[in-house]
Every structure is written in C-alpha cells, then in structure tokens.
Amino acid sequence: MNRVDTQRNFDPRVEDPQALSRLSRRGFLGGMLGGMAAGAAVLSFGSKAFALTTPAATTSGKGAAPDDERYWEFVASQFLLRKGIAYMNTGTRGPSPRTVHMAQLDALHEVNADYFGFTKTGCNKAFVDALRQKLATFIGAKPTEIAFTSNTTEGMIYGTLGVDLKPGDEIAFTNHDHPSGGNPILLRAAREGLQVRVIDLADRKFHPPKSSDDIVKVFDAALGPKTKLLSFCHVNYTDGCVMPVKEICALARAKGVMTLVDGAQPPGMMQVDVHDLGCDMYAGPCHKWLLASMYTGFFYVREDRLEQVWPTMYVGAVNGKTMYGQPPPPTMAAACVGAAKYEYHGSIDYPAKFAVNAALDFHNQLTPTAIEARDRYLARRLLHGLREIDGVEVYTADDPQLSCGLVAFTVKAIPTVQLVETLWARHGIYLRNVTHEEIGWDVNRASMHIMVTAKQTDTLLGAIAEIAKKGIG
Ligand SMILES: Cc1ncc(COP(=O)(O)O)c(C=O)c1O
C-alpha cells in the first residue's frame, strides 16, 4: 500500500501552515498551529510510523468560531464524500474523514501483512488501554466503566438483559425510543414474564416541548413501585429533542429505578458527561457523529453498578474460575477488569479500533466545544430558515437545552419519502424520513454535522421553499 498516496492522503494544505493560517478569517488556526505537533497522534506499527494530523490541533482548547465558513469548509473538505453530495444523515451513519479512513486502512494492511507483529506492537494492550482512556475521557467516564461494542444496539441489549429482574417487575421505555431500545425490552418481557410500561410521548405538545419540566413530569408519573429499569434516549432520533436526562435519572434513582440511556445521537455531536448525567448505563456508537468506522460503539456502566449488570456475551472466568476449575490466567483476568467484561467474547476488529482512535483525535483536535457550536449553528440556521417558509412545520425546539444537531420537519402535504427522493435527485441532498404510523409520526430529519456547509444548508432551504410553493410536480 502506498502510504503517501496523495489521492487519499491529507489535503496538502494541512502540511502548509501558511496556507492554513490564511484559511482562517479570524486567525484561529494561526494561533493553533503551534499546537499542531502536540495534537498530531503518531501510531507505530512495528518499524513503521505515520502521523495523524488534522487541521486544527489546538493547545488553547478553543476551536474555530461556529460561523468561520472558510475554516469549516476546509474541515468539510476532509471528508471523502463525492463532490455534489450534501450529506445530512449523520444520525444514521457518519462518514469518516480522511484521517480516520486512512488509519483504518493502514491498520487493515498491517493486520494482513504481519498479524503477529501488529498484535505485539500495534494493537497491543498499551494501545487498547490508551484508547479506552481516550474514549472514557471523551464521555466523562472512568476507563474501567466502558466497554468497546459494535454499535449502540449492542449496548442497549447488554443493558436490557444484564440486570436481574423477576416476573412481575416492570421495565419502562418511551414510544419515541428507537427499536434498538424498545424491542429487546419486549423480548425479555415475553421470555421472563416481565411487565412493560410505555411512556407516551406521541402527543404533539412534546414536539417541541414547551419546557423540559413537561417531559420530566410524564416520566415521574410513569415510574411506579414495580418499575425496576427505565430505558430512554438522550436525544430522540425522531424529533432531535435533547431529553432532560439528568433530571430524569435523578428522579429514577430516588425511586430505586436503574437507568439505561440510549446515546446513539449525542457522542460527537454534543459534549457528553455520563457522570454528570447520573445514568447507570449509557450505550453509544462511534460510527455516527464521532465519525469512526462502521460497527463501532461503547457501553458505559457506572462503577457502583458494575456488579449488578451481567455480561450477556462473555467467555471469561465465572466466580473466579475458568472451565478447567482454575483461577483465570493473568491475561484473561486483566482483560475482564471493570466494564471490559462486556467486551470479552472473542476476536475483535483491530482496524476498527484504529478508526476509533483517529476519530477521537480528529474531534479532540477540532475540539468538541467547537464542533458542538458548529453543529448548533448549522441546525439553528436551518431551523430559523424553515420557520420562515409557509407550509413547513418544525418539530424541533429552538431552546438550546432541548435541541442540538438534529432538525425534524414536514413540508405541507408532501410525503416524507417523496421529499427525501426529490432532494436527492435534484440537489444531491441526502437526509431521511422517520416514520412510525403507530404513533402518528412521519417527518423528515436533517443531521447538521461538520461535513455540511452553510452553503449546503441554504441550498436545502431554497429547495424546500420552492417545493413548499410549487409542490413536487
Ligand atoms: C436513538 C437510536 N438508538 C439506536 C440506534 C441504533 O444505533 P446503532 O446503529 O449504533 O446500533 C439509532 C440509529 O439510528 C438511534 O437513532
């Protein structure tokens, strides 16, 4: 493999500090370039090494201003997206930027070129420990509280199945949760004779809600004496509502209810601090807003709950002994410390770990604060524009406490699927519909992340204004 393939390697401007500082209207990058070397992660595979540099390594901790278009267009240019595509569906899958893509490809190359050497010097314990620390820091956890998973769904399943419950106990979830959260609950309930309580958020008054109190009240009323586990989203994938997780978890804790938060949307879009949220469990992906490769995620279990959550898929020692009746060998024992027990079940995808590592570097170098501010800026630009268009209904709140990078809307009588197809065919804009007729939900949803530019946002607004006026024709 050609490591200096300029077709796939970094934008040459990244290597040119002069060009970078010229890119920044407000000089943000100029100030940051001193930190470039510090921010560049160097990975070593055996005798080989390459540097992962991303455009804005910063020592100050502050990134670019959210409306610094030249800067963010440069960031958007780091993605491999085909020219002409305006990608607004990070909520389903976040395409990786070049550095992440290359880190994964290089690791894959090394796995196939020298598996033994790679496991010794590349994807070794030191690397995995450092990666766990990096990911834990990113979400405000301790490294012993997180396990690497394949996706959000896997974590939701572990959380749902891992807690001891007896027949008659109740699990609560909302009807704006994702099937990845709700359906494992139904399965467990059917198998073990558990009760299920569905918290009804279908009413239009929740989209957007007037205040977070309205939501907290519904949860408070739903959690009864039989409720033992509550599962709900940090950010609803239906309408982009940022739920009052901290308040809900506090009231659940006061009632003796364990909490499992579906964090499919926030990591990489908005800053997540699981300790501050106060949840017992949190399942998230690395393949959406965090921009790592497909089939990557994490599962967080709060330290004081680790003993209460069984590892559902697990091949380590049980009650201190292996299948031979002996204590586990040191490597197995060490590999199952804390939440790592939830990932102890066979071979792993080494290149995916390198993609996660590079994705975290990418975010840390741009800074999570700046990325969140940019996503919010784009989402507000879209939200405000949509509200100006006759016939458009918006379901996402203006209140920054209740919204972030997802925007849900409908356009008059235009079927949501048809709108998706038309925007794609006419403008190369890719967004999705979220449709659940059972709860009267049928909207279009745009994910506003850093591969989207302000220009593309305005093109979307123009296209919707035209469709609202003239129909699809
Ligand atoms: C709220 C929510 N939960 C779970 C999922 C499933 O995520 P994953 O593909 O990471 O399993 C999604 C995906 O869109 C989601 O939006």
> What's the CATH number of domain 126-359, 1.10.645.10, 3.40.640.10, 1.10.1270.20, 3.30.230.70?
3.40.640.10
Instruction: Identify any residues that bridge with 118 across adjacent strands, giving them in sequence order.
Output: none
Q: Can you read off the two tokens belonging to residue 227?
A: 């409720």
Per-residue model confidence (pLDDT) at position 286: 98
Instruction: Please report the pLDDT score of residue 61 as a whole number.
Output: 54
State residue 146's pLDDT score: 98
Q: Ligand 1 pocket test: which of 180, 234, 295, 449 has the largest number of ligand atoms within 8 Å of its C-beta? A: 180
396 vs 441: CA distance, rounded Å: 13
Atom of ligand 1 nearest to the CA of 153: 11
Torsions phi, psi for 441 (to 5 deg): -115, 125
- Backbone phi, psi, residue 215, to 5°: -75, -45
Q: For a pocket test of ligand 1, which of 88, 153, 406, 441 has the largest count of ligand atoms closer than 8 A to its C-beta?
A: 153
| Of residues 243, 258, 62, the one with CA closest to residue 158 | 258
pLDDT on residue 24: 39
Tell me the backbone φ, ψ of residue 48, rounded to 5 degrees. Answer: -95, 150
Token couple for 62: 């502050």
First to last CA, the chain: 49
State the Cα–Cα distance between residues 254 and 92, nearest whole angstrom.
34
Point out which residues pair with 52 in neighbouring strands: 41
Which residue's alpha carbon is at the smallest distance from atom 7 of ligand 1?
A: 152
Note whether 363 and 268 are within 8 A (CB): yes
CB 287, CB 267: distance < 8 Å: no
Candidates 38, 33, 26, 99; CA nearest to 64 is: 26
Q: Cα(427)–Cα(87) distance, rounded to whole angstroms?
A: 11
Q: Give the closest residue (by CA) to ligand 1 atom 5.
A: 264
Residue-level pLDDT at 22: 43
Question: 424 CA to middle of ligand 1, Å?
Answer: 23
CA distance 176 to 456: 29
Length of the chain: 473
* pTM confidence score: 0.90
- pLDDT, residue 37, reads 30
Give the CA distances from residue 276 to residues 244, 246, 249, 273, 281, in Å, rounded to whole numbers and listed in that order. 12, 7, 10, 5, 13
CATH number belonging to domain 370-470: 3.90.1150.10
Query: Where are the chain's structural domains?
Result: 126-359, 370-470
91 CA to middle of ligand 1, Å?
8
> How confident is the model at residue 63, as a pLDDT?
82
Distance 325 CA to ligand 1 centre (A): 40
Helices (H) and strands (E) in the chain, counts: 17, 15
Is 102:328 a contact under the CB 8 Å cutoff? no
Q: Which residues of the chain are under the pLDDT cut of 50?
A: 1-60
Pocket lining for ligand 1, CB < 6 angstroms: 91-92, 151-153, 178, 180-181, 233, 237, 262, 264-265, 285, 297
Tell me, in angstroms, the distance from the centre of ligand 1 to residue 264's CA: 5
- Give the whole-angstrom CA distance, residue 232 versus residue 257: 13
- Give the Cα separation of 187 and 427 in Å (integer): 42
